[in-house]
Structure formats: C-alpha cells, structure tokens
C-alpha cells in the first residue's frame, strides 16, 4: 500500500491536474457564492466534463468543484446574511455582524483560512486512514460485501431527511430503477418494456443530472424576481486578518476539524450538521460565549473549518467499500464508474496508485484553494448580483449538453426531463432522492454479491452465514440496531439544529 | 366525512396507496418482463434466479407501502406541491414547455442555434429587457460550451449548420 502511495504522489504532480483542479475550485466557488445554486447542482451539471477526461484530470476537477462550492457559500453568508449553500448557514450567525462592524474582509479571510486548514488536515487524515481500512476491506468476500451494502443503504435511508419509511421506499424505488436493463449475473433483459434505449439500463448521467440539478432549477424559477442585491452591499471592506487573530482561533479550528472529520466518515450526516456542531462546540468551550452571535471571528472559523473538514473523509467509505456517504459522493461514484473504476475493496488493490494520486491531488488542491480564494474574494462577492434570468437558462443548457454527450441520443434528454420532474415532485412531497440514487447505483453490486453468496452457500444460506461467514451474520444482526441508533442520532441532531438532511 | 379523519388523510396516504399498487403491479409483471435463459448452465449448482431479486424488491415495496400507509395518518408534513402559487406553477410549466421545445431545436438546428433561441426566450420570460446584451450572451455562451466540448473534451454536440441529424434523428424524437 505504501508503494502505491509513493507512486500516487508521482502521478498526482502534473501541471494539467493542477489546472483542472483550479478550474473546478473556481467554478465551485462561483456556484457556491450564488444563493439558491447548490454545490450538488454544480457537481451534477459539471459531471459530464469529468467523463471525457483522464481520471487524474476529471475526478480532481470534480473534487475541486466540491471543495470550492462548500467554501463559496460562506461569501454571501458573511456579506449579506444569505448562505450560498446549506453548509454556510452556521456562518450567518457571526459573519453578517462582523460585516456590519466594518470587518467583512477579516471575516471572509478567516472563513477562507479556516476552510483550507480544516480541509487540508482532514485530507491528510483521510490519506493516512484509507490504506489500513482498504486492507481490511480486501479480506471481505461477497457475503460480507452484500451485508455491508445492505447496512449502508438502510442507514442512509434512515438518516435521509424526513421520515424513515419514506427514505426506505425511495431506496426501493432506486433499486427498481437499477434493475431495469440486464440482470448482473445472467445478463438477461429485465423491465425494458420494449424500449431499445434502456436495454442496457437507465443511463446514469442524465439520471443523476435530472434528480440532483433540475429540481434546484425548478425551485429557483418559482419566483421570477431577479437579483435584489445592490452592488454596494457587496463591497469587501475593512482591515485584513492579522496573524494574532488567526492564531487565537487555531484551537477552535483544530476542534472543528476533528468534529468535521468524524462526521464525514458517517454516512448521511454531512456538512450542515458538522458546521452547527463545530459552532456549538466552540461556543461552549469559549471563555466569552456571550460574544458568539454578535460578530465573533471564532464563530466563523468554527463553522467553516467543520464544514470543509467533512469533504475528505466522505471518500473513506466510498473508496474502501464502495459506499457513498452522501449525495455529493453519489455524483463522484458516477465519475469513478464512467472512468471504469468501480469504487470498492478491489479498487485499492487493482488501482491503488491511481486512487492515492487522486487523494494526493485532493490534498494539494488546498494550496490552490487558498490562492484562488484569496485573490478572487472581491469577484465572488459580486457573483450574487448576476441575474437569475440568465443563470437559469444557462444552467439548463449545460444540463442538456451534459446529458447529450454521453450517448448522443435524444432519448437521454427525455430521461433527463423525466428524472428532473420526478426529483422536483419528490422534493415538494418531502421524499429525499439520495437513497433512490444510492439504490440505483449500488443495486446491481448488491444483487451480484447476493447471487454469489447464494452460489457459495449451495442453497444453505442460513447455515452458511451462521457457521462459515460469522462476520456476515454479525453485520446482519447489527443492521437493525445500528439503523435505529443512526436514525435516533440524526433525528436528534436535526431537531437540535433545525436542519433537513 | 369525519373531520379528524379528513385532516389525517393526506398526500402521504395517497402516496402510500400508489406505492402499494406499484409494488403489486411490479410483482405481477415480473414473469413477462424478465427473459428466460435459453440454456441452463451449471445444472445442480444453486444460482440466483433473475426473478428472485425483483420479487424481493416488489414485496419490500408492498410491505413498506403498508407501513407508510399506517404512518401517514400521523405524519405532520405540508404538501408543498399543493401550496405552489399561480406564479410558481406558471413558471414551472413554461420552463417544462421550453425544455420540450428545446430538445427538437437542439437536435435539428444544432446546439448553438437551439440553445441561443432557448436562452433568449427564457431570459426574456424571466425578466431580462436588455435584448442586445441578452442576444450576445445567448449566442456567445453556447458557442463557448460547444467549442469547449468539441476541442477540449473531444465530444460531439449537435453541430450547425444543419447536418445529417434531421435525417437520422427525426424518428427518435
């Protein structure tokens, strides 16, 4: 594994990789700074770009969008109390007050430095952990993999926003969509309803863009109002952040990094909860908690370090077990699959150096993150003034172009619109589409592992699992317990912090 | 109808019924929607039948549908689809219509022309009144996307001027 890591460093140090990461960071920050335009939508729309690039360009590009998007949301949150993304809601507690005091520049710089610190530290932890976890994952056979996939899918449904049973139903719907096409064992045609275009299955790319990007566009067009923000409200003014001020927040940043890293490894929790927990922990540990909410730099640092520290660790379950922890990593799975790299235990064994190269590029991206963020703060601050009347049709054009290039079939555009409408209706009726997308992606692997387990057991599945595969039996026994605990925990966090998902 | 029942019977209850019906429908169509293997390899070996997993999924859908039906009477959620105002419904429908028109435009007139028409009409509908700026953006940005996809990503978007696409793709629309 160590040799793969060393090889990975060599592979990652490419100037074109750095250029694509920079492009991803820039686009991510741009979209993140637009209220109503989420990082998820940016990743879904830009996913097709990664399909046609070298894996060491396409995947780091998307990771750049991911990182940049999470940070970009803090800019309007600080300046005009309008979070660009959900992850920046906790930043609105102190950011706008600092702007009112004439310390907007300080707050933006603190958000940037703490985001980069949190992100970089969590990336290093991710690189250190992924090798040993992958080594353990390699010992797992088909029955264990099937049991882990089942556990992960149920846990993700339990922790998705809304009611548990609705999450489970969406998971089942996703598993059904995943069955359309061919069965993974005998390659027999299933549920294609006589439509030749879905004989090989529902196309992944239009489906992902449809469920994740189009509902956001539909939500944005509900009101015609264009930008109501005045350009003068968005001036980045005041003194710069000093070293002493940053130093005084290092302990807070470290605490938030630990919180964000731990949350990132748990499927289905995400940046929003991490930011709130980081903020709450900083406030309770402070000697002057009364200043939190009144314009406290430490408050900005706590929230921003925590939400960015989630980014790296979400890749641990993805790369070692093939389980995406949230909707953003579902999109990354799409990118990996398009590159012929199916995330899971075998990936680290077969293409370990490439995986480490992607992770090293992810860590190096933080240096670019710092540079681009620092230089472009005034530009991103003004992004909010761009009219929605242009942004929305442009986003649609990108969604259609992205869906077209995959197979150059008009049918795929119909798939895009179908899943867009489906996602929008689901959103309005409080059904989370994340379990559906996970079921769609992981369903064939689950069925394949389940089929292999049946063959291995010679028809005696129960006895085989109990006596020959005790780990599988333990995982399956623990599934309801873990699900209940995760469901209770996510409900408590949601009630405590008033967040959905 | 009893008032308390009326307040409890909600969109979730209807959704639950839909899931139950869908699950039963799936279970029923499984034999006709899954091909049969022409030859049986590895006779005597236990294999996963291509019908088993879909049957499990259909049964899960029905069982979860009943659980959801039971829970639906006590779930306190607002049907946001029903609460959409007239402006929102109009905007969403107009956008869907524009998307439906955009597909044949893009396929037949090419990506740049089709997208320019779509961006200009949609931006005008959503409030842009600076038509010159609108026209410039509508032409320049699709061109930029077209060139980027073609030159950088080396993939094809429907080209302009009218190429062979109408001849090959009319039947697919």
Q: Check residue A407 and give its pLDDT.
A: 80
Q: Is the pLDDT of residue B160 over 80?
A: no
A420 within 8 A of A218, measured Cβ to Cβ: yes
Specify if B62 maps to a domain: yes
Rounded CA gap, A276 and A493, in Å? 9
Residues in A closer than 8 angstroms to B122, CB to CB, are 389, 392-393, 396
Q: Check residue B171 and give its pLDDT.
A: 46
- The helix (run of H) or strand (run of E) holding residue A181 is strand A181-182
A380 within 8 A of A72, measured Cβ to Cβ: yes
Q: Check residue B22 and give its pLDDT.
A: 95
- Nearest neighbour of B91 by CB, restricted to A175, A222, A414: A222
Residue A181 dihedral angles phi and psi, to the nearest 5°: 120, -110
Considering only residues 34 to 53 of chain A, which have any Cβ-Cβ distance to chain B shorter than 8 Å?
A: 49, 52-53
Tokens matching residue A487:
């469901």
**ipTM of the complex, rounded to two decimals:** 0.86
pLDDT digits (tens, 9 = 90+) for A192-204: 888 888 888 898 8
Q: Check residue B2 and give its pLDDT.
A: 47
Considering only residues 442 to 471 of chain A, which have any Cβ-Cβ distance to chain B shorter than 8 Å?
A: 447, 450-451, 454-455, 457-459
Other CB atoms within a 10 A radius of the CB of residue A105 amount to: 21
Average pLDDT of the residues in B78-95: 90
- Say whether A397 and B118 touch across the interface (CB within 8 A): yes
Judge if B63 and B109 occupy the same domain. Answer: no
Specify if B16 maps to a domain: yes
Judge if B90 and B164 occupy the same domain. Answer: yes
Q: Check residue A240 and give its pLDDT.
A: 86
Rounded CA gap, A492 and A197, in Å? 45
A432 within 8 A of A160, measured Cβ to Cβ: yes
- Nearest neighbour of B35 by CB, restricted to A168, A188, A222: A188
Dihedral angle sign, alpha carbons of residues B79, B85, B88, B90: positive
Judge if B148 and B93 occupy the same domain. Answer: yes
Specify if B12 maps to a domain: yes
Q: Is the pLDDT of residue B1 over 50?
A: no
Q: Is the pLDDT of residue B173 over 50?
A: no
- Nearest neighbour of B127 by CB, restricted to A173, A176, A226: A226
- Say whether A165 and B64 touch across the interface (CB within 8 A): yes
Q: Residues of chain A with pLDDT > 70: what percent?
A: 93
Q: Where are the domains of chain A?
A: 2-497
- Nearest neighbour of B172 by CB, restricted to A168, A190, A411: A411
Domain that holds residue B133: 86-172
Sequence-distant (≥ 6) Cβ neighbours of residue A65 within 8 angstroms: A24, A25, A27, A28, A31, A39, A42, A43, A46
Judge if B92 and B67 occupy the same domain. Answer: no
- Determine which of B10, B155, B173 to mutate to test the interface with A (most A C-beta atoms within 10 Å): B155
Q: Check residue A225 and give its pLDDT.
A: 58
- What is the distance in angstroms between the Cα of A393 and the nearest Cα belonging to chain B? 5
- Nearest neighbour of B48 by CB, restricted to A162, A421, A450: A450
Rounded CA gap, A239 and A104, in Å? 8
Judge if B91 and B64 occupy the same domain. Answer: no
- What is the distance in angstroms between the Cα of A342 and the nearest Cα belonging to chain B? 22
- What is the distance in angstroms between the Cα of A103 and the nearest Cα belonging to chain B? 35
Average pLDDT of the residues in B64-88: 89
- Is pLDDT larger for residue B18 or for residue A10? B18
- Say whether A189 and B47 touch across the interface (CB within 8 A): no
Tokens matching residue B53:
């997993």
- Determine which of A61, A153, A172, A200 to mutate to test the interface with B (most B C-beta atoms within 10 Å): A172
Judge if B104 and B159 occupy the same domain. Answer: yes
Q: Check residue A425 and give its pLDDT.
A: 94
- What is the distance in angstroms between the Cα of A9 and the nearest Cα belonging to chain B? 25
Q: Check residue B45 and give its pLDDT.
A: 60
- Nearest neighbour of A186 by CB, restricted to B37, B96, B155: B37
Q: Check residue B54 and give its pLDDT.
A: 92
- Determine which of B19, B28, B99, B158 to mutate to test the interface with A (most A C-beta atoms within 10 Å): B99
Tell me the helices (H) and strands (E) count for chain B, helix number first.
7, 0
Rounded CA gap, B102 and B121, in Å? 11
- Nearest neighbour of B111 by CB, restricted to A387, A392, A401: A401
Specify if B102 maps to a domain: yes
What is the DSSP track for A440-474?
A: HHHHHHHHHHHHHHHHHHTT-HHHIIIII-HHHHH
Specify if B77 maps to a domain: no
Residues in B closer than 8 angstroms to A172, CB to CB, are 57, 60-61, 64
Block residue for tokens 């795929």: A412
What value does the mean pLDDT of chain B take? 82
Residues in B closer than 8 angstroms to A169, CB to CB, are 19, 61, 64-65, 68
Specify if B80 maps to a domain: no
Residue B63: band (very low, low, confident or very high) from pLDDT cuts 50, 70, 90? very high
- Determine which of B53, B93, B139, B142 to mutate to test the interface with A (most A C-beta atoms within 10 Å): B53
Instruction: Find out whether the peptide bond into B161 is cis, omega within 30 degrees of 0.
Output: yes
Considering only residues 317 to 376 of chain A, which have any Cβ-Cβ distance to chain B shorter than 8 Å?
A: none
Task: State which residue of chain B sits closest to A176, comparing Cα positions.
Answer: B57
A193-196 long-range contacts, CB within 8 A, separation 24+: A193/B33
Residue B34 dihedral angles phi and psi, to the nearest 5°: -120, 125
Judge if B64 and B131 occupy the same domain. Answer: no
pLDDT digits (tens, 9 = 90+) for A313-348: 888 888 888 878 777 888 888 888 878 887 877 788
- What is the distance in angstroms between the Cα of A460 and the nearest Cα belonging to chain B? 9
Specify if B78 maps to a domain: no
- Say whether B155 and A52 touch across the interface (CB within 8 A): yes
Based on the structure, what is the number of domains in chain B? Answer: 2
Judge if B58 and B90 occupy the same domain. Answer: no
Residues in B closer than 8 angstroms to A429, CB to CB, are 11-12, 15, 79-81
Other CB atoms within a 10 A radius of the CB of residue A15 amount to: 6
Residues of chain A under the 50 pLDDT cut: 228, 499-501
A424 has a chain B CB within 8 A of its CB: yes
Q: Check residue A171 and give its pLDDT.
A: 94
Rounded CA gap, B110 and B81, in Å? 35
- Nearest neighbour of B119 by CB, restricted to A53, A185, A397: A397
Rounded CA gap, A45 and A69, in Å? 13
Q: Check residue A256 and give its pLDDT.
A: 93
């Amino acid at each position: 594994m160590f040799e793969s890591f060393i090889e990975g460093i060599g592979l990652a140090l490419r100037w074109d990789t750095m250029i694509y990461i920079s492009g991803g960071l820039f686009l991510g920050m741009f979209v993140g700074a637009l209220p109503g335009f989420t990082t998820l939508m940016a990743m879904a729309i830009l996913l097709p770009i990664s399909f046609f690039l070298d894996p060491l360009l396409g995947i780091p590009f998307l990771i750049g969008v991911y990182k940049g998007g999470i940070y970009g949301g803090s800019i309007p949150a600080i300046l005009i109390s309008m979070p660009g993304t959900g992850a920046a809601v906790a930043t609105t507690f102190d950011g706008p007050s600092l702007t009112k005091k004439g310390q907007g520049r300080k707050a933006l710089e603190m958000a940037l430095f703490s985001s980069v610190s949190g992100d970089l530290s969590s990336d290093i932890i991710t690189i250190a952990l992924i090798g040993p976890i992958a080594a353990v994952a390699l010992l797992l056979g088909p029955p264990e993999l099937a049991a882990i996939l089942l556990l992960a899918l149920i846990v993700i449904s339990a922790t998705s926003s809304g009611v548990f049973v609705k999450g489970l139903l969406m998971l089942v719907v996703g598993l059904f969509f995943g069955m359309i096409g061919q069965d993974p064992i005998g390659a027999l045609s299933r549920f294609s309803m006589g439509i030749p275009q879905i004989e090989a299955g529902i196309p992944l790319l239009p489906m992902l863009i449809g469920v994740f990007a189009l509902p956001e566009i539909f939500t944005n067009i509900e009101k015609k109002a264009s930008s109501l923000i005045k350009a003068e409200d968005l001036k980045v003014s005041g003194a710069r952040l000093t070293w002493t001020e940053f130093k005084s927040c290092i302990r807070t940043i470290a605490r938030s990094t630990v919180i964000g890293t731990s949350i990132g490894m748990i499927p289905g929790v995400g940046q929003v909860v991490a930011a709130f927990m980081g903020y709450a922990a900083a406030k309770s540990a402070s000697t002057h908690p009364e200043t939190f909410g009144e314009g406290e730099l430490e408050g900005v640092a706590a929230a921003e370090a925590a939400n960015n520290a989630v980014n790296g660790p979400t890749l641990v379950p993805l790369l070692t077990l093939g389980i995406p922890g949230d909707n953003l990593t579902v999109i990354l799975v799409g990118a990996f699959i398009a590159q012929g790299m199916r995330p899971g235990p075998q990936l680290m064994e077969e293409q370990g150096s490439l995986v480490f190269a992607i992770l090293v590029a992810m860590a190096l991206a933080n240096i670019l993150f710092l540079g681009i963020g620092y230089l472009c703060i005034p530009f991103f601050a003004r992004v909010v003034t761009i009219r929605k009347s242009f942004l929305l049709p442009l986003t649609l054009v990108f969604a259609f172009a992205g869906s077209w290039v995959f197979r150059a079939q008009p049918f795929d555009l119909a798939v895009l619109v179908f899943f867009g409408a489906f996602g929008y209706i689901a959103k309005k009726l409080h059904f989370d589409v994340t379990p559906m997308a996970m079921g769609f992606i992981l369903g064939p692997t689950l069925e394949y592992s389940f089929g292999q387990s049946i063959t291995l057991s010679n028809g005696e599945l129960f006895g085989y699992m109990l006596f020959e595969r005790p780990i599988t039996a333990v995982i399956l026994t623990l599934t309801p317990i873990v699900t209940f605990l995760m469901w209770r925990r996510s409900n408590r966090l949601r009630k405590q912090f008033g967040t959905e998902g | 109808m009893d008032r308390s029942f009326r307040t409890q019977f909600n969109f979730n209850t209807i959704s639950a019924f839909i899931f139950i019906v869908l699950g039963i429908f799936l279970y029923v169509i499984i034999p006709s929607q899954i091909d049969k293997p022409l030859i049986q390899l590895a006779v005597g070996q236990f294999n996963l039948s291509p019908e088993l997993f879909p049957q499990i999924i259909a049964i899960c859908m029905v069982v979860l549908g009943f659980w959801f039906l039971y829970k639906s009477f006590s779930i306190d959620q607002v049907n946001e689809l029903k609460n959409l105002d007239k402006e929102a419904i109009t905007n969403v429908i107009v956008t869907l219509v524009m998307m439906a028109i955009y597909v044949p435009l893009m396929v037949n007139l090419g990506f740049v022309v089709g997208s320019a028409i779509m961006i200009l009409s949609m931006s005008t509908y959503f409030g842009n009144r600076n038509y010159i700026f609108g026209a410039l953006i509508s032409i320049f940005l699709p061109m930029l996307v077209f060139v980027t996809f073609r030159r950088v990503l080396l993939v094809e978007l429907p080209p302009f001027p009218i190429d062979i696409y109408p001849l090959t793709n009319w039947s697919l629309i």
